[in-house]
Chain A
Amino acid sequence: AQSVSQHNHHVILSEAASLELGCNYSYGGTVNLFWYVQYPGQHLQLLLKYFSGDPLVKGIKGFEAEFIKSKFSFNLRKPSVQWSDTAEYFCAVNARTGGFKTIFGAGTRLFVKA
């Protein structure tokens, strides 16, 4: 069955620290990969997405993610976090083999200390 694993459930960082959130998926074949963010009390927003081409994808608010096909990974990074990055981050995947259903990881709750 298709699945998405996020390695860290809770992350606490100080401002200006670097961030890397791990994400692995279990699909075979062609995949579309996403990171969504949910700020406290708000709805899901798309941070970035990968469909094809350059495996290093840049998104909004200084986030980027790298697709490593051999590792089935799509880790999210940000060189210097801000207090306003406090949110929950969800990795998600869909694929033709899965009927393009978007499956979400369990989420990583990030808290950035000011």
Chain B
Amino acid sequence: SAVISQKPSRDICQRGTSLTIQCQVDSQVTMMFWYRQQPGQSLTLIATANQGSEATYESGFVIDKFPISRPNLTFSTLTVSNMSPEDSSIYLCSVDRDNRQRGTEAFFGQGTRLTVV
């Protein structure tokens, strides 16, 4: 398993501002993933962050809105920029084992509950 720590656990932000969410993993991993879970909905993948390269964004998500950093193999940040109430969601960091042959189940952080007012 993997232990994933996310900060902050929750925040209330004013529209138009930005929030950076941090994700720390207790072991080195190649791939880190950022998800969003909007109220009452499933998890939607925002992007995949690999160390040493730019993040790969899913359809509907862009770097200007959700810039991601991945400075090393145990840490990543997701910024939610120029926030609007529609960005109110739980944001989750997830990691996979460093096993390109098989992968493994996704391990999740506790999530960051963001409310934009």
- Give A contacts to B, CB under 8 Å: 32, 34, 43-44, 46, 49, 51, 90, 92, 94-96, 99-107
Asked if B45 and A103 sit within 8 Å, CB to CB, the answer is: yes
Which chain A residues lie closer than 8 Å to B31 at the CB level?
Answer: 99-100
Which chain A residues lie closer than 8 Å to B48 at the CB level?
Answer: 99, 101
Asked if B110 and A43 sit within 8 Å, CB to CB, the answer is: yes
Q: How far is the CA of A102 from the CA of B104 in the complex (A)?
A: 9
Asked if A101 and B105 sit within 8 Å, CB to CB, the answer is: no
> How would you classify the secondary structure of chain B's contact residues: helix, strand, loop or mixed?
loop
Asked if B42 and A102 sit within 8 Å, CB to CB, the answer is: no
Given A32-B105, A43-B110, 7 other A-B contacts at CB below 8 A?
Answer: A32-B103, A46-B105, A51-B102, A96-B103, A102-B105, A102-B106, A106-B41
- Is B96 an interface residue, CB under 8 A from the partner? yes
Q: How many residues of B contact A (CB 8 A)?
A: 22
Asked if B104 and A43 sit within 8 Å, CB to CB, the answer is: no
Query: Smallest CB-CB separation from A108: which chain B residue?
Result: B42
Q: Which residue from A32, A46, A96, A101 sits with its C-beta under 8 Å from B45?
A: A101
Smallest CB separation, A78 vs chain B (Å):
20
Q: Which residue from A96, A100, A101, A104 sits with its C-beta under 8 Å from B42?
A: A104
Which chain A residues lie closer than 8 Å to B101 at the CB level?
Answer: 96
Q: How far is the CA of A28 from the CA of B104 in the complex (A)?
A: 17
Asked if B43 and A90 sit within 8 Å, CB to CB, the answer is: yes
- Is B94 an interface residue, CB under 8 A from the partner? yes
Please encode chain B, from 79 to 117, with 1 for each CB lying within 8 Å of some chain A CB and 0 for all others.
000000000000010101000111111101011000000
Smallest CB separation, A87 vs chain B (Å):
13
Query: Smallest CB-CB separation from A94: which chain B residue?
Result: B103
